Amino acid sequence: MIFESHAHYDDEVFDEDREELLASFGEKGIGTVINVGASLAGCKETVELTRQYPFIYGAIGIHPSEVGELHEDNFADLEKWCFLDKIVAVGETGLDYHWPEPDPALQKEWFERQLVLARQVKLPVIVHSREAARDTLEIMQAHRAGEIGGVIHCFSYAKEMAREYLNMDFYFGIGGVITFKNSKKLKEAVEYIPMEKILLETDSPYLAPEPNRGKRNSSLNLPYVAQAIADLKGISYEEVVRITEQNARKLFGL
Ligand code: NI
């Protein structure tokens, strides 16, 4: 069954129909979901979701755009959550230079802290990197991220950068963008990345694939992503679903 490696079902846009939506996943072929924390409140709700739904696992971390809320005390809470049974990764963490805030120095500091945390609690890391390719790579190399392991979520860089992350034995989260007409660079990267290193993800509620681009995203759209990858790789849809599930289970230890 489809393994959704990155979604945010704690988001308030799911408040109106969360239960109904999540309950429909099994019969629609969505087998497992990683709900990814992006803020302190989101992490708390992620823990709740993992308790309510047998098929939901969680990642605990603070998105680079949200690091302004962190300090020593609440960072200690993150560490505690990491030891819960169904928490399988640290993240999302990383760098996002698309917006001027928070200051890059602050983003780097908390990215490094979360890499240290991942190593300490022995969990893989989910990395968010947007318009910050060089700095992300430098920090990951400095922290020997290859020993920690993890996934570059919503991978958006070119083939050359994919090679760097492959050298660290990282996985690549591929989502709706692969179905966009203007995603030539990403399509080239996906042709280059071995199937054994690809995970399916949506980043719900964001980045819905064609033909639902612009709408609220959910894991029910993953078949469009899997089909786009199958077409690029010249393999069957079923193979893509099978291999990406296997990859995700290996990475998250499930
Ligand atoms: Ni995300």
Kindly give the distance from the C-alpha atom of residue 45 to the centroid of ligand 1, in angstroms, as a whole number: 15
94: left (phi over 0), alpha (psi -120 to 50) or beta: left
Residues by chain with Cβ below 5 Å of ion ligand 1: 203
Kindly give the distance from the C-alpha atom of residue 236 to the centroid of ligand 1, in angstroms, as a whole number: 27
Closest by CA position to 244, among listed 23, 95, 63, 31: 31
Q: For 42-90, write each residue's pLDDT tens digit.
A: 999 999 999 999 999 999 999 999 999 999 999 999 999 999 999 999 9
Q: Provide mean pLDDT across the span 214-223.
A: 98
In CATH terms, the fold of domain 2-252 is TIM Barrel (3.20.20)
Q: For 106-115, write each residue's pLDDT tens digit.
A: 999 999 999 9
pLDDT for the residue 116: 98
- pLDDT-based confidence at 205, cuts 50/70/90? very high
Q: For 174-199, write each residue's pLDDT tens digit.
A: 999 999 999 999 999 999 999 999 99
**Packed helices 222-233 and 237-252: angle between N→C axes, nearest 10 degrees:** 110
Q: What is the pLDDT of the chain when averaged over all its residues?
A: 97
pTM as predicted: 0.97
Residue boundaries of the structural domains of the chain: 2-252
pLDDT for the residue 113: 98
Kindly give the distance from the C-alpha atom of residue 234 to the centroid of ligand 1, in angstroms, as a whole number: 28
CB within 8 A of 240, min separation 6: which ones? 195, 200, 226, 227, 229, 230, 233
Q: For 144-167, write each residue's pLDDT tens digit.
A: 999 999 999 999 899 999 999 999
60 beta partners = 90
Kindly give the distance from the C-alpha atom of residue 12 to the centroid of ligand 1, in angstroms, as a whole number: 14
